[in-house]
Amino acid sequence: MSLGTVAVTGAAGTIGSAIRKALRCEAARLILLDRVPLHPEAENEDVRTVDLRDADAVEAALAGADRVLHLAGVPNEAPLADLLEANVLGTHHVLEAARRTGIERVVLASSNHVTGFHPAGHLTGAQDPVRPDGLYGVSKVAVEALGRLYADKFGLSVICLRIGSFVHTPTEPRHLATWLSPHDAVGFIRAALTAPRSTRFLTTYALSANTRRFWELPDPTELAYAPVDNAELHAAEIPGTDLPTDPTAPQAGPAARPEFTLKHLRP
């Protein structure tokens, strides 16, 4: 399937920078949005500096897009007010722009942190209850809920990708379960952008085919991508990976500790 015109929010971010290189070879036109200035690197790139808090500016920037990949937002634990403004309100403005301009597909970057308090011994699927491990996870729960609302109420086609640990290579024991390689990230995003229009709403984890994974891989009948990388191939290079994992410990690891969030709350 042709990608047509694809808009990417958060194009200057870690994932945005990686996916930009892949998509510009496949999209007829690539609209790259970020709050920091970008520079076009190919003839089919259209770069725009946009603050997602400005609903009118978002709608104007997304005009003409066939599909949107929404990556922008605060990517880590932060005060709730900041997360609501950047992640929740920003997502609302993207979905509203899609509704108003007739964009056929929106792919939302969610996070594995929406279920971080499930125990490491439980293979978690998208059908399991949300158990956010922090305020960031709460904001991504709201992002998914907004996507569901716009799919159910307004007929948008929305796919939420619960992204794993996106790094070039695994660097810590938890990554053996949570790693999402750059290659597999491109594969998941491409599959989400090109899934059949009949896919009204879908939430799935995006991670590599890790032997020790915490989360279910997507059903190939719902999302046509099978990851190929496996963090286990890097286990020998990471200290501590030979130690057993406590199956009752939260999947989020250190992010589940109170101090991870307390520093963002009033003393």
Catalytic residue among 136, 150, 205, 225: 136
Q: State the distance between the two ends of the chain, measured CA to CA, in whole angstroms.
A: 53
pLDDT given at position 180: 98
pLDDT in tens, 149-207: 999 999 999 999 999 999 999 999 999 999 999 999 999 999 999 999 999 999 999 99
Chain centroid to Cα 161, Å, comes to 5
Which ranges of 166-219 would DSSP assign to H, the alpha helix? Answer: 175-178, 182-194
pLDDT given at position 92: 98
pLDDT given at position 122: 98
Q: Is 136 a catalytic residue?
A: yes
Residue 267 maps to a domain? no
Query: Structural domain of residue 138, as residue ranges?
Result: 5-262
Q: Give me the number of domains the chain comprises.
A: 1
pLDDT given at position 2: 76
Residue 190 maps to a domain? yes
Query: What CATH number has the domain bearing residue 113?
Result: 3.40.50.720
CB 137 within 8 A of CB 259: no
Listed as ranges, residues in the chain with pLDDT below 50 are none
Residue 84 maps to a domain? yes
What distance in Å separates the CA atoms of residue 151 and residue 72, rounded to the nearest whole number? 20
pLDDT given at position 47: 97
Residue 144 maps to a domain? yes
Residue 33 maps to a domain? yes
pLDDT given at position 1: 61
